[in-house]
Amino acid sequence: MTNETSRHSIAVIAGDGIGKEVVPSAITCLERIASIHGLDLVFTYFDWGSDFYGRHGRMMPIDGLDQLARHDAIFLGAVGSPEVPDTESLWGLLIPIRREFQQYINLRPVKTLDGVKSPLAAANPIDILIVRENNEGEYSEVGGRMYRGLPHESAVQETIFTRLGVSRAARYAAALAATRTGRLTSATKSNGIVHTMPFWDEVVAETVAQYPGVTVTHELVDALAAHLVLKPWTLDVIVASNLFGDILSDLGSSVTGSIGLAPSANLNPEGDFPSLFEPVHGSAPDIAGKNLANPVGQIWSGAMMLEHLGHPDAAAHLQSAFESALRHGHGTRDIGGTSTTTEFTQAILTAIDALAPVTA
């Protein structure tokens, strides 16, 4: 039996390449979880992405954001195609969604999973949350190019930090750290970038000071990248700017086994607008349509979506299921396994049923 708090409208954009394979896998798992936990997940599908661009010259229709605004969450696969410039994929779909819906937090877990071999000789389990500021910073639109095609052609792009943008990212990260070990690491480069990064450091320090029990360490981003490789298990919560957070989270997912495992959430924490959930991996056109794609990043993103929508038990059930499937050797080839996308998905469905709570 469902009620209003368990009914959710979800916009689905499978996108391009392997997105069209892993999104159906994830939705099959979400529907199984929903049936067990009494949730009513209503999926509405949008055929936006590179194919849409080929037909219309846009990644989504002019009123696309208005259409998405009617939903409780957005579930995205992967976008990108060799036939479409990368700037169109990012600025024609992802960034407008993130900014229109004030998805100012990008949350990316980095975690070792049983059954997945890390390229590191990790002494301890890795369990990190990377909080990336998602609306400003290095991904500013301020700038331009001049003298195109001439020997003195030039390009300028500005990094924009605001007190609002930095402080709300720091607040979110500090609140997370307070529920864990209380250790927060802030990525900086204030020794070389002399205006924006010292400002970042100051605002982060001022904000974290409001959270008793949370301590912040400011670490130069190059040293922090090395830290993620050498001793990642000593890190807990990381807060970083848009560009630094993007790079560090991709590195983190790689050191735990495969970028195909990595989920992400683009969050509007207040819930005033829909949040977006997507795997970190790209559209992987080289393996698209071959039933080889790893669905875990997409399925894990679905678990994060359930958590955000207020269903932690359902989210934990889904996460336990894909972790169980991995533990029992049901992996795709990117993590050393032999399962196809279909076979791996079936193993997760079997685990969902096996781990279902017993009802009276």
Give a yes or no: residue 2 inside a domain: yes
Residue of 147, 286, 290, 313 with catalytic role: 147
Catalytic residue among 222, 286, 313, 353: 222
Q: What is the mean pLDDT of residues 219-248?
A: 96
Q: Are strands 73-78 and 105-111 parallel, antiparallel or unpaired?
A: unpaired
Q: In sequence order, what are the residues at sequence separation of 6 or more whose Cβ sits closer than 8 angstroms to the Cβ of residue 195?
A: none
pTM exceeds 0.85 for this model: yes
- 334 part of the active site: no
Centroid of chain to Cα 65: 20
Question: Does 246 participate in catalysis according to the annotation?
Answer: yes
Residues 74, 42: one domain? yes
Asked if residues 233 and 122 have their Cβ atoms less than 8 Å apart, the reply is yes
Do residue 132 and residue 228 come from a single domain? yes
Q: What percent of the chain has pLDDT over 70?
A: 97
The CATH number given to whatever domain includes residue 210 is 3.40.718.10
Q: How confident is the model at residue 1 (pLDDT cuts 50, 70, 90)?
A: very low
| Residues of the domain holding 21 | 1-103+271-360
Q: Is the pLDDT of residue 351 over 80?
A: yes
Per-residue pLDDT at 121: 62
Start-to-end CA span in the chain (Å): 15
* Predicted confidence band of residue 360 (pLDDT cuts 50, 70, 90): very low
Statement to judge: residues 240 and 166 lie in one domain: yes
Given 127, 201, 236, 250, which residue is catalytic?
Answer: 250
In a domain, 198, yes or no: yes
pLDDT at 107 over 90: yes
- pLDDT tens for 296-319 read 999 999 999 999 999 999 999 999
Task: Return all residues near 196 (Cβ < 8 A) that are at least 6 apart.
Answer: 159, 161
**Quick one: pLDDT band at residue 163, thresholds 50, 70, 90?**
very high
Q: Which of 20, 189, 211, 334 is catalytic?
A: 189
CA 143 to chain centre: 27
Which ranges in 122-231 belong to alpha helices (H)? Answer: 163-178, 196-208, 221-230
Give yes or no: residues 190 and 310 share one domain: no
Higher pLDDT, 84 or 207: 207
Indicate if 16 belongs to the active site.
no
| Assigned domain for 262 exists | no
Per the structure block, which two tokens stand in for 11?
């916009």
The pLDDT value recorded for residue 2 is: 43
Answer with the residue of higher pLDDT: 118 or 54. 54
Residue pLDDT, tens place only, 164-176: 999 999 999 999 9
Question: Please, what is the average pLDDT of the chain?
Answer: 94
> Is 250 one of the catalytic residues?
yes
From 16, 104, 139, 246, the catalytic residue: 246
Q: Of 130 and 123, which is predicted with more confidence?
A: 130
In the chain, how many domains are there? Answer: 2
* Per-residue b or e along 99-114, where b marks 16 or more CB atoms closer than 10 Å to that residue's CB: bebbbbbbbbbbbbbe
pLDDT category at 250 given cuts 50, 70, 90 is very high
Give me the residues paired with residue 143 across strands: 157
Of the residues 202, 224, 256, the one at which a domain ends = 256
109 located within any domain: no
pLDDT of residue 90: 87
Looking at the domain assignment, is residue 240 inside a domain? yes
Q: What is the mean pLDDT of residues 80-97?
A: 89
Report pLDDT digits (tens) over 324-349. Answer: 999 998 889 888 889 999 999 999 99
- Integer CA distances (angstroms), 209 to 80, 165, 171, 239, 245, in order: 41, 17, 10, 15, 22
222 labelled catalytic: yes
151 burial class (0-12, 13-18, 19+ CB within 10 angstroms)?
Answer: exposed
Statement to judge: residues 278 and 252 lie in one domain: no
Res. 86 pLDDT band, cuts 50 70 90: confident
